[in-house]
């Protein structure tokens, strides 16, 4: 019977195994599948549902902690999250598929596991979510910073649009089609203006999480722990820290350059 | 600001996109990461925990139903499940990574969502599970059948070994090391014999699910549904059907050849 | 110094190594780069230059013989040649790049080496030619036959068009632009008709090499060789054989099915 | 018949198309296949045949000139040559296979075309050579410099060994086996010593081409050309320049850093 098995074992040779190019930063980006429908069915608040965003953050933090020596930065918004692996990471020998599928499955499992902490008993999870996931290599500091800027700029653009769109509908009484029409082709200056003059909203005062997304980095924190002897001792530990900074800015990266040096 | 974004958008070109070779059957195999530890921490019965196996089956059935026109066969055992996509499948234009990560995340999310149905309130889920996942192409009927045989033969080999191992420990009072030693190098005939003479176990009478794994196929079933008028009407529908047949056998495939013809 | 080298050797890990999917026929297709210009500069006859075509065939035969156990079929036309590796080929462990680059370089080197045999002293080779090359897997008999049909049908379509085009110019006295205009949108029936009525050419009587391309297969041939004793002995050997058959037809493949069975 | 062709055209979708990661230096390395035999059959001088090395250089220069805006550096030795494409190269949209096969075929064709210039009428080329070829991405300056150092260190190690080996045979009268035995496990210091004390050879005085390989870079050269008017005019042009410098050294790269900046 071991005989029988070895006769079939040749099929394992049909597997392929892509490796990520060494010495590149790797971004692993997850995105919820068909979350347009998912957010409708679970009655997400519009334009931003803080329960949903905080659940996403919670899952990202869990993944961050699961690979403390590997993930150095994460940024998320809407139904997506991007994780940056350090340049020298050797996680699963840099096997692309292994990284993508383990991250996707862990994130999705966490999403379900922690759902009720954020949505409570009144909003049960109706079905299992799906997240696609892709790992991409970035060879230079400029490239990885541009990736991060791309996601944060996208967050801003979408949030500004969505804020206007729902203000026009919820406060302005427009239909969805009319709101879309009103916004077609407008530049961001005009959108800021519209929010302020028509709805009294100062865009820059809105929640940083909505405008800039959510970012995790490691921060050294002094903690008081209890030794075996019962005495308190101070230890410095690195902990995942949630921030909503402008990470497009050069200044931020000058101050936090160590992130890219690992 | 759209300006700002377009300046960064070039980073999307660093993504790669592998496609599965057309006209091949594709096997998508999931496997629980570190389930040795996971099964210990959740006190799985040994050698087989039916709650765990039935949860795996339930998740597989959910995935099977999620892609009714694409998945034609599935086989699972232990912490793994394999899904066979039909030769002509065009799911996500055959994008390899998209298929792997969506399957992995949906399965993992389902695993958490349905956990308590099988493990009840007394065994809560302690942490989020991870599943790796890989898609592999098989060009010929012989190859895809050999893949399926490989998994079923592996199920049998492992189950026979594990049954002996735990009988020696649980009924024979051996230590794990002694049991391992007793089994080293034995052929399957000797293991069957040992089970029968020392423990009165007829291996062939053990649960088919444990010996052959779990298989899902589509079966036509006549159903009585209720028309709008309130009258009962008979409809033939294909439903995911769980079986534990010997799928290594030629006879089975003669009778079920339509599976490979889709 | 071996020290010095080992310090740098890590760079070899950046190499990737794609393998061709097992149990598929592999087509390795070469195509001359910028042969529009190349054929002009070497004053190729129009529409078909037999010296050029026979040189291509000669190079193909050399490659065919170089890998006698691996290549089972070849078809060429214009500046291109396709080689079919048998399904079970294990040439260079099916390393894709190794196969592509060795075939391309050997073909190009042969092209130069044998050039003067076909073009004579009056037409020297002016510069080194380039050939791109790509290996593609085909999982089924239908697919590999369709690949071959694709190339042969393409040969026919191009040859019919080019024959008309150059008849209109060379015999009809049209300009290139006028000839192109006259042929725009015509079906193949109309082209055949035009050749016959305007130029007295019966397309079907034209050279089979021009209409159907050139095909190499292995044929068993009885040869009389000389034994060490000096006596003649008959041996059956397989030799590369050049034919110009219709290989789209089912009949041909029924008669030559052994090609696909290796 | 166009009908017929379109029916077959689907087979083109089976092709795959790998792209080189953007913003990396790409090394395209060629290596002669079975040049052990090739060098024997063409009676190459041992350990170094200058005709062969100069032919390799000539082919490299031809390739260098063929892609003047793309290749920024080349280094060769023995039967191999490496070409470095600039980081921002968009040659054939960075299609990996296209680059590999065009480089390999052009180099091999050049090798045959120029053979007799270096080997003369007394040493005709006996058969077509083959070169394998692979393109590899290097993300950082450190990596690309280490690649170059790897090849140059390898050249040195092999040359030192071969010089000793053939001195022991040709001057020392040893058999190949005895020479191998005499060198087993010796460090490079011992080899230098042996050359000097037993054979009066100062290794550092040997040909730089043999010790360090051959390198091509672009150098600005002032040229006197003839204008249409017949007058001589001075132009600065970049020309492929053959050097045999130590390119492991930091100093060299400080002086020639512009190579990596393109
Ligand atoms: N109302 C509401 N909707 C949200 C929120 N976050 C995400 N969504 C919804 C809005 C979008 O339709 C969707 C995210 O856009 P995507 O481009 O990822 O589209 P979707 O997931 O539907 O399709 P996909 O499968 O990713 O191609 O999720 C939220 O906080 N509130
Ligand atoms: N007690 C018990 N353990 C099980 C059962 N099903 C699976 N397991 C455990 C036993 C094995 O240690 C493990 C499956 O073997 P694997 O080769 O997949 O190893 P594992 O998941 O630990 O590592 P991996 O991350 O897949 O490389 O799961 C079960 O029904 N009962
Ligand atoms: N006059 C003449 N020209 C030929 C003959 N065989 C091939 N050619 C020329 C005509 C076409 O322009 C060219 C082959 O077409 P391709 O599509 O391969 O184009 P070309 O090689 O120019 O570009 P490419 O680098 O392959 O994209 O070679 C021949 O026998 N006589
Ligand atoms: N006598 C002599 N031999 C040389 C010279 N240059 C190269 N060769 C020979 C010596 C080596 O056997 C061979 C190059 O070593 P490789 O590792 O590339 O081996 P080879 O080409 O035989 O096998 P391969 O197909 O590349 O795996 O070429 C030379 O200048 N003089
Ligand atoms: O589990 P295998 O044997 O298919 O192999 P793998 O998943 O590629 O390796 P591992 O489980 O050790 O990561
Ligand atoms: O499947 P889609 O349409 O979401 O395509 P994608 O490759 O995921 O593209 P994107 O990165 O734009 O979501
Ligand atoms: O020549 P190497 O060592 O780079 O390795 P390879 O070409 O991949 O292997 P081989 O020359 O043995 O085919
Ligand atoms: O480079 P091209 O334009 O010839 O593109 P290709 O991938 O070679 O395409 P084709 O197979 O149509 O020649
Ligand atoms: Mg998407
Ligand atoms: Mg989405
Ligand atoms: Mg999204
Ligand atoms: Mg595994
Ligand atoms: Mg496992
Ligand atoms: Mg397992
Ligand atoms: Mg082409
Ligand atoms: Mg061409
Ligand atoms: Mg062509
Ligand atoms: Mg090699
Ligand atoms: Mg070699
Ligand atoms: Mg070599």
Write the DSSP string, A197-236. Answer: HHH---GGGS-HHHHH-EEEEEEEEEEEEE-TTS-EEEEE
Count CA within 13 A, CB hemisphere, residue D239.
Answer: 9
D130 occurs within a structural domain: yes
Rg over CA atoms, chain C: 22
**Angle, CA of C84, C90 and D26, to the nearest 5°:** 85
Torsion on CA atoms A253, A256, A258, A262, rounded to nearest 10: -80
CB-ligand 3 contact for C32 (6 Å cutoff): yes
List the structure tokens of C256: 């030559």
Ligand nearest to the CA of C118: 3
Q: What is the pLDDT of residue A94?
A: 98
Residues of chain D with pLDDT under 50: 1
Edge-to-edge strand order for the sheet containing A80-85?
A131-138, A25-32, A80-85, A71-77, A214-226, A232-243
pLDDT band at residue B43 using 50, 70 and 90 as cut-offs: very high
D250 occurs within a structural domain: no
| C103 vs D228 pLDDT, higher one | C103
Mean of all residue pLDDT scores within chain B: 96
Q: What is the pLDDT of residue B6?
A: 87
The answer to whether D85 and D28 are in contact (CB under 8 A) is yes
Which residues are near ligand 1 (CB < 6 Å)?
A: A 31-36, 39, 44, 46, 48-49, 52-53, 78-79
Q: Calculate the alpha carbon distances from D236 to B111, C36, D233, D239 in Å.
A: 70, 33, 10, 9
Q: What is the pLDDT of residue A4?
A: 59
In angstroms, rounded to a whole number, what is the distance separating the alpha carbons of residues B218 and C163? Answer: 55
Domain count, chain D: 1
Kindly tell me if the per-residue pLDDT of C4 is higher than 80: no
Q: Where are the alpha helices (DSSP H) in chain C?
A: 2-8, 35-41, 50-66, 96-119, 141-170, 176-183, 188-199, 208-212, 250-255, 258-261
Residue of C nearest to A23 (CA): C14
Residues in chain A: 262
A135 occurs within a structural domain: yes
Q: What is the pLDDT of residue A1?
A: 42
Question: Which residues, chain by chain, have CB under 5 Å from ion ligand 16?
Answer: C 31-32, 35, 79
Residue D112: give its domain's CATH number.
Answer: 3.30.70.3000
Q: What is the pLDDT of residue C6?
A: 87
Domain that holds residue A115: 18-151
Say how many Å lie between the CA of residue C36 and the centre of ligand 3.
Answer: 4
Say how many Å lie between the CA of residue A78 and the centre of ligand 1.
Answer: 6
A190 occurs within a structural domain: no
Kindly tell me if the per-residue pLDDT of C1 is higher than 50: no
Interface of D with B in 18-77 (CB under 8 A): 18-19, 21-23
List the structure tokens of C254: 């029924």
DSSP codes, D73-112: EEEEETTEEEEEEPTT--GGGGBHHHHHHHHHHHHHHHHH
Tell me how close the Cα of C144 comes to any Cα of chain B, in angstroms. 12
* Residue pLDDT, tens place only, C46-93: 999 999 999 999 999 999 999 999 999 999 999 999 999 999 999 999
Q: Where are the alpha helices (DSSP H) in B42-187?
A: 50-66, 96-119, 141-170, 176-183
CB-ligand 4 contact for D51 (6 Å cutoff): no
D256 occurs within a structural domain: no
Say how many Å lie between the CA of residue B109 and the centre of ligand 17.
Answer: 51
Tell me, letter by letter, the H, E, C secondary structure of D167-221: HHHHHCCCCHHHHHHHHCCCCHHHHHHHHHHHHCCCHHHCCHHHHHCEEEEEEEE
Site to probe by mutation for ligand 7, drawn from D29, D31, D80, D158 as the one with most ligand atoms within 8 Å of Cβ, is D31
Which residues are near ligand 2 (CB < 6 Å)?
A: B 31-36, 39, 44, 46, 48-49, 52-53, 78-79
Residue bearing the CA closest to ligand 3, atom 11: C36
Of D196, D212, D197, the residue nearest D159 (C-alpha) = D212
In angstroms, rounded to a whole number, what is the distance separating the alpha carbons of residues A117 and B128? Answer: 15
Tell me, letter by letter, the H, E, C secondary structure of C138-193: ECCHHHHHHHHHHHHHHHHHHHHHHHHHHHHHHCCCCCHHHHHHHHCCCCHHHHHH
Residues of chain A with pLDDT under 50: 1
DSSP codes, A68-82: TTTEEEEEEETTEEE
- Within 8 A of C147 by CB-CB distance, chain D residues are 8, 11
* Residue pLDDT, tens place only, A215-251: 999 999 999 989 899 999 999 999 999 999 999 999 9
Kindly tell me if the per-residue pLDDT of B1 is higher than 50: no
The answer to whether A133 and A30 are in contact (CB under 8 A) is yes
D78 occurs within a structural domain: yes
Mean of all residue pLDDT scores within chain C: 96
At C17, is the secondary structure helix, strand, or coil?
Answer: coil
Helix axes B141-170, B188-199, angle to 10 degrees: 30
B86 occurs within a structural domain: yes
Q: Measured from the CA of C52, which atom of ligand 3 is nearest?
A: 30
Torsion on CA atoms D232, D238, D239, D245, rounded to nearest 10: 130
DSSP codes, B54-95: HHHHHHHHHHHHHSTTTEEEEEEETTEEEEEEPTT--GGGGB
Say how many Å lie between the CA of residue A33 and the centre of ligand 9.
Answer: 8
Q: Which residue has the tokens 């089975």?
A: B252
B158 occurs within a structural domain: no
| B1 vs B128 pLDDT, higher one | B128
Tell me how close the Cα of D146 comes to any Cα of chain A, in angstroms. 13
Which residues are near ligand 5 (CB < 6 Å)?
A: B 31, 132
- Strand duo A80-85 + B71-77: pairing: unpaired
Is C140 in the B-facing interface, judged by CB distances under 8 Å?
yes
* Residue pLDDT, tens place only, C155-209: 999 999 999 999 999 999 999 999 999 999 999 999 999 999 999 999 999 999 9
Give CB contacts under 8 A, 24+ apart, made by C13-18: C13/A22, C14/A21, C14/A22, C14/A23, C14/D136, C14/D137, C14/D138, C14/D143, C15/D134, C15/D136, C16/A18, C16/A19, C16/D136, C17/C95, C17/C97, C18/A16, C18/C95, C18/C96, C18/C97, C18/D18
Other CB atoms within 10 A of residue B101 CB: 31
* Residue pLDDT, tens place only, B141-185: 999 999 999 999 999 999 999 999 999 999 999 999 999 999 999
Site to probe by mutation for ligand 2, drawn from B33, B37, B39, B166 as the one with most ligand atoms within 8 Å of Cβ, is B39
Provide the number of CB pairs (under 8 Å) joining chain A to chain C.
12
> Do B23 and C137 make contact, defined as CB atoms within 8 angstroms?
no
**Angle, CA of B37, B39 and B41, to the nearest 5°:** 65
**Of D22, D23, D143, which is closest to A23 when you measure between CB atoms?**
D143
């Amino acid at each position: 019977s071991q005989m029988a098995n070895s006769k079939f074992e040749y099929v394992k040779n049909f597997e392929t195994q892509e490796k990520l190019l060494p010495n590149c930063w790797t971004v692993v980006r997850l995105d919820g599948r068909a979350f347009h429908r998912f957010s409708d069915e679970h009655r997400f608040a519009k334009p931003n549902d803080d329960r949903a965003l905080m659940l996403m953050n919670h899952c990202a933090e869990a993944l961050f902690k699961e690979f403390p020596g590997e993930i150095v930065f994460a940024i998320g918004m809407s139904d997506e999250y991007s994780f940056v692996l350090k340049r020298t990471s050797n996680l699963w020998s840099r096997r692309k598929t292994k990284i993508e599928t383990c991250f996707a499955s862990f994130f999705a499992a966490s999403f379900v596991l922690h759902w009720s902490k954020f949505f409570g008993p009144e909003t049960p999870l109706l079905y299992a979510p799906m997240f696609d996931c892709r790992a991409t290599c970035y060879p230079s500091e400029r490239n990885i910073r541009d990736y991060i800027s791309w996601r944060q700029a996208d967050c801003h653009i979408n949030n500004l649009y969505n804020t206007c769109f729902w203000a026009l509908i919820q406060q302005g009484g427009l239909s969805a089609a009319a709101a879309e029409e009103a916004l077609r082709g407008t530049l961001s200056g005009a959108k800021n203006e519209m929010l302020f003059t028509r709805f009294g909203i100062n865009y820059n005062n809105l929640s940083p999480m909505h405008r800039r997304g959510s970012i995790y980095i490691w921060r050294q924190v002094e903690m008081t722990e209890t030794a075996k002897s019962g005495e308190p001792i101070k230890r410095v530990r690195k902990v995942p820290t949630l921030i909503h900074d402008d990470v497009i800015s050069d200044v931020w990266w000058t101050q936090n350059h160590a992130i890219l040096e690992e």
